Amino acid sequence: MNVVVTGAAGMLGSYLVRRLAADGYEVTGLDLRDAVDAPPQARHVVGDIRDAKLLHETLSGADAVVHCAAALPTYADGEIRSVIVDGTRSVLSAARDNKVERFVHISSTAVYGLPKIVPTTEDHPREPVDPYSRAKAEAEQACEQFRAAGMCLPILRPKTFVGPGRMGLFAMLFEWAEEGRDFPVLGRGDVRIQMLAMDDLVDGVVTALKAADDVANDTYNLAAASFGTIREDFQAVLDAAGHGGRVRSLPARPALAALSVLQKTKLSPVYGRLLHKLMDDSFVSIDKATERLGFRPNLSNQDAILRTFAWWRSERTEKVEGSGRTSREPWKQGALSLAKVFF
């Protein structure tokens, strides 16, 4: 099978390119950035998913597309919509014109917004609450239109995925743990926040590529089967660091108000939906993916986070604060770095 992976230089895309190449697929990656760690047998194209001519050329002869390219929630509102909505429509159109047999769309559980019903199932309405989740929801609607027109189109909704190479806000937890500091949580930290190991997500994508049409042509949540509270997950990292750090509770409402102000003034990378998600349980049902698709996650939240922390410790040679433009880069902590003196 000849597979094109968009967003191939990103976190998920790069993992997927390596896995597919190792499994014997013909793989072409497409990304705005060069692929620094792509396997030699994979082809890589540098370009924009909104470039119709380039897309048509890149998808020529492809049997399947895995659409991973997206924008982060921290991007400007207009850019989020342009990349996620316009970009998805561009890739869908090129896939249709090239008669691509299968299109695996990587969406997000963000499309549910901030659901009060947990575990959240796939039939929960899309209730986006911010530019990122609205764009993800609209991209799904575009996919459903192409599915209705005859394209075999699995839509995968992963929870936040974690694995070696993943940075973002995890870099803040890892850095504070390594420095022997305590780490804050809002309130008691007893909310259950489900995540997903990168290896398990890649397994889910490959399963969707291989499944029979009548099974694949559906929408699935992908997430860890085993997960605890954020207090337990954060404390596991502090324990692994070996400095005696502890998770410390902050009064929830005052802390939420302060972080909201920092977010609105661009002094913190913590976006609004994440703040509110940390106040309530957030987990989805994976029964449908398990029963129909055969999805079998192997790693728990803690397994995934601790593996990532071990990678971070082995790879870190100097403190580098990234731009946060990709999930491979640590987000700038901004004003949050000043809070270290209290921990």
Residues 199 and 75 in one domain: yes
Residues 129 and 53 in one domain: yes
CATH number, domain of 272, equals 3.90.25.10
Reading the block at residue 24, the tokens are: 């014997």
Residues 250 and 123 in one domain: no
Mind listing the pLDDT tens digit of every residue in the chain (343 residues)?
999 999 999 999 999 999 999 999 999 999 999 988 889 999 999 999 999 999 999 999 999 999 999 998 889 999 999 999 999 999 999 999 999 999 999 999 999 999 999 999 999 999 999 999 999 999 999 999 999 999 999 999 999 999 998 766 788 899 999 999 999 888 888 999 999 999 999 999 999 999 999 999 999 999 999 999 999 999 999 999 999 999 999 886 676 666 666 566 554 555 555 566 667 899 999 999 999 999 999 999 999 999 999 999 998 754 444 445 555 554 455 544 545 545 5
Give the pTM.
Answer: 0.89
Residues 231 and 324 in one domain: yes
pLDDT of res. 261: 64
d(CA 38, CA 89): 26
Q: What is the DSSP letter of 125?
A: P
d(CA 276, CA 258): 13
Residues 205 and 244 in one domain: no
pLDDT of res. 311: 93
Beta-carbon count within 10 A of 34 CB: 9
Any domain includes 337 = yes
Any domain includes 232 = yes
Cis peptide bond N-terminal to 131, omega within 30: no
Q: How many structural domains is the chain composed of?
A: 2
Q: What is the DSSP letter of 152?
A: B
Residues 112 and 175 in one domain: no
Q: Which of 313, 193, 332, 327 is nearest to 269 (CA)?
A: 332
Residues 315 and 199 in one domain: no
Residues 145 and 183 in one domain: no
Domain that holds residue 304: 164-194+225-282+299-342
Residues 100 and 184 in one domain: no
Residues 103 and 216 in one domain: yes
Dihedral sign of CA atoms 131, 205, 51, 90 in order: negative
Domain end: 179, 204, 222, which one?
222
pLDDT of res. 277: 63
Q: Which of 142, 147, 150, 103 is nearest to 126 (CA)?
A: 142
Residues 126 and 168 in one domain: no
